[in-house]
Amino acid sequence: MRKRGDDNLAGPSMSIIHLSQGLDASRRISFQMPKWLLIMPCIGLLFVWTTFPLLTTIYYSFQRYNLLSPMMTGSAGIENYAYLFTDPALYAAIANTLILVGSVVFVTIAVGTLLAVLFDQDFPGRNIARVLAISPFFVMPTVAALIWKNLLMHPIYGVFASIANSIGLAPVDWFTQWPLLSVVIIVSWQWIPFAALILITAMQSLDGEQMEAARMDGARGIVAFRYIVLPFLARPIAIVVLIETIFLFSVFAEILVTTGGGPGLETTNLTYLIYIKAILEWNIGGASAAGIVSIVVANVVAFILVATVARNFAK
Amino acid sequence: MLSARQRTTLYSGIAGWTLALCLFFPIFWMLVTSFKTEAEAIGGMNSLFFVPTLENYTAINERANYASYLLNSVVVSFTATVLALAIALPTVYSMVFFPTGRTKDVLMWILSTKMLPPVGVLVPIYLMFKSVHLIDSRAALIVVYTFGNLPIVVWMLYSFFKDVPGEIIEASRMDGATTLQQIRLILVPLTLPGIASTGLLSVILCWNEAFWSINLTSTAAAPLTSLVASFSSPEGLFWAKLSAVSSLAVAPIILFGWITQKQLVRGLTFGAVK
């Protein structure tokens, strides 16, 4: 612990610490909880909480287990998986999940960055505008989906249809013509404030003098943004990508309320596919197999993200 | 003529306000619609002017016990948040000030538990709560939310505790402070703003969580998310009532968010900014 030369560098408080340590450390240092006792509740509980259901799901995924036909039980071997992998619904759901996550992450970061840059300027009423802009973050998914589906996107009575009619355009039947895009719009609306919140916070710590110096050198607008702001925001953007991806994998209520996964399978993501199997078909075995596949997909994506993003962050 | 700087302020003011109003419009429209009659509600932009009515709110009050849903949301969100903070605090204290070679890996593992999509473990967790008769109980939701938010809480606290100089903790140890005293008298006061914004985020996430609340509760423990979901199918055509029940569901958390937004804006970085 004590290295040679330390004492020369240490301030007064450090030498006092060293002194007391040297004199009667055994008497002065009171009871310290062992580290494992501090860590155990969190790690242990989290381990049990995640491992037990995971193992149970793996077990069920190899069982014949349908609540509608309780007589059919026993080992199913890889039957559930074999059936799942021949089901086109699985591939549609994986594709929809990735499209949904990817587009929402992209849109929220683009708009969030724009908001962060704008709210960095000191314009009148900035604080009120900021409060309004981040408000969607507090709206629960069911409510968000219901407002957008009915009040805004309804092809006859919705606000968008009114606007389209008033300027002489044919109103769009959002959930029939562009179902996945509609879900992307709703989910993006909910998550733009999250990206904006983190990026606004980050902008606040951007060095004003550096910006000023760049301005003196003639870097303005796009150039200043490209070479000073954007590199500075790289780390917070990486965090937004990571956290949003985790949450967006489980988008559920928005789909349940608006499209019910349809038309066809066009808005069925993995979460919704499993929900259909488990709750509507009572097929626990099949749902568990799909659950395991979704966990694998999530972890592949997570692995890629962690390798590129999070290691960097945790340093 | 405006100077270059004034022009920048003007343009960003216009753009900022436009964007902010667009983002807020759905919430504003929901509030407005909740005070219309059903006939006016489907009038789109044609019924911009109307005489406000409270009939939708009265109708909801007759059909559902709003107070009970609100109470469930409040109790579940705050209890789960306090529990998650209490479990996370000592662990993060230990990870930040007494790191071992494996601390980084443990931190990654904790976050990775969040990669487990809830739906992947819906069946076993549902059956587990069923076997101990906790379906439709606040306790079940509290347990699920506590563990659901634990990884996020750990990560945020980690980023805040990292800013506390290790020498302060070390000095207090030498002065005879026990572990709990170090946490309670030194660490918590120093990082209170950070802990507060962590708690805020956790409360908001709990309040708005819709997957578990819909699947694990029916009536007794149903929070506001379930109330809204229950209005969505049979009442889907009654937009004014739908808007009123939605407004009731989001109003408390929006007010809470507005009051605490300064804290949220200051704290929500996940350590992305030094």
pLDDT reading at B141 higher than 90: yes
- In a shared domain, residues B193 and B74: yes
Three-state DSSP state, A120: coil
Q: What is the mean pLDDT of residues B92-106?
A: 85
Task: Give the whole-number percent of chain B exceeding pLDDT 90.
Answer: 25
- In a shared domain, residues B133 and B245: yes
**Contact check, Cβ <8 Å, B26/A13:** no
**Contact check, Cβ <8 Å, B17/A125:** yes
Interface contacts (A, B; CB < 8 Å): 328
- In a shared domain, residues B106 and B12: no
- In a shared domain, residues B79 and B208: yes
Compute the mean pLDDT over every residue in chain B, rounded to the nearest whole number. 85
Is residue B274, in this structure, part of any structural domain at all?
no
Q: What is the pLDDT of residue A106?
A: 95
Lowest mean pLDDT among A95-99, A154-158, A175-179, B191-195: A154-158
Is residue B161, in this structure, part of any structural domain at all?
yes
pLDDT digits (tens, 9 = 90+) for B158-182: 888 888 888 888 888 888 888 888 8
Residue from B71, B213, B228 nearest B142 by CA:
B213
CA A299 to chain centre: 14
Q: What is the mean pLDDT of residues B11-27?
A: 93
Task: Give the whole-number percent of chain A exceeding pLDDT 90.
Answer: 18
**Contact check, Cβ <8 Å, A252/B119:** yes
pLDDT digits (tens, 9 = 90+) for A183-221: 999 999 999 999 998 898 888 877 777 777 777 777 767
Strand partners, A283: A66
Q: What is the pLDDT of residue A2?
A: 39
pLDDT digits (tens, 9 = 90+) for B215-239: 888 888 889 888 888 776 655 568 8
CATH number at residue B233: 1.10.3720.10
Question: In the structure, what pLDDT confidence band is assigned to residue A138 with cuts at 50, 70 and 90?
Answer: very high
Compute φ and ψ for A63, nearest 5 degrees: -115, 155
In B, which residues are within 8 Å of A135 by CB distance?
23-24, 27, 254, 257-258
pLDDT reading at A305 higher than 50: yes
Question: Nearest CA of chain A to the CA of B16: how many Å?
Answer: 6
Q: Which of B36, B55, B74 is the last residue of a domain?
A: B55
Is residue B135, in this structure, part of any structural domain at all?
yes
In A, which residues are within 8 Å of B107 by CB distance?
314
Is residue B132, in this structure, part of any structural domain at all?
yes
- In a shared domain, residues B95 and B181: yes
- A88-314 maps to CATH 1.10.510.10: no
- In a shared domain, residues B78 and B179: yes
Question: In the structure, what pLDDT confidence band is assigned to residue A16 with cuts at 50, 70 and 90?
Answer: very low
pLDDT digits (tens, 9 = 90+) for A18-74: 444 444 444 455 667 777 778 888 888 889 888 888 898 888 888 888 777 777 777
Q: What is the mean pLDDT of residues B33-42?
A: 80
In A, which residues are within 8 Å of B254 by CB distance?
135, 138-139
Could you give the CA distance from residue A112 to residue B23 in angstroms, rounded to a whole number?
12
Q: What is the pLDDT of residue A167?
A: 87
CA distances for A261 relative to A135, A172, A252, A311, B229, angstroms? 27, 19, 10, 35, 16
pLDDT: which is higher, B25 or A8: B25
CA distances for A51 relative to A161, B41, B116, B237, angstroms? 49, 49, 10, 43
* pTM for the full predicted model: 0.85
Chain B CA closest to residue A39: B91
Residue from A248, A246, A252 nearest A278 by CA:
A252
**Contact check, Cβ <8 Å, B12/A117:** yes
Question: In the structure, what pLDDT confidence band is assigned to residue A315 with cuts at 50, 70 and 90?
Answer: very low
In B, which residues are within 8 Å of A200 by CB distance?
265
CA B79 to chain centre: 13
- In a shared domain, residues B71 and B197: yes
**Contact check, Cβ <8 Å, A197/B265:** yes
Domain count, chain B: 2
Domain ranges of chain A: 88-314
- In a shared domain, residues B160 and B130: yes
In B, which residues are within 8 Å of A60 by CB distance?
123-124
pLDDT reading at A266 higher than 50: yes
**Contact check, Cβ <8 Å, B122/A274:** yes
Choose the closest CB to B45 out of A111, A159, A279: A159
Is residue B272, in this structure, part of any structural domain at all?
no
- In a shared domain, residues B259 and B132: yes
Domain span holding position B10: 4-55
- In a shared domain, residues B151 and B28: no
Q: What is the mean pLDDT of residues A91-110?
A: 93
Choose the closest CB to B232 out of A142, A161, A299: A142
Q: What is the pLDDT of residue B44?
A: 61
Question: Nearest CA of chain A to the CA of B178: how many Å?
Answer: 6
Question: In the structure, what pLDDT confidence band is assigned to residue A5 with cuts at 50, 70 and 90?
Answer: very low
Q: What is the mean pLDDT of residues A93-103?
A: 93
In A, which residues are within 8 Å of B40 by CB distance?
none
- In a shared domain, residues B119 and B172: yes
- In a shared domain, residues B145 and B261: yes
Q: What is the mean pLDDT of residues B2-14?
A: 82
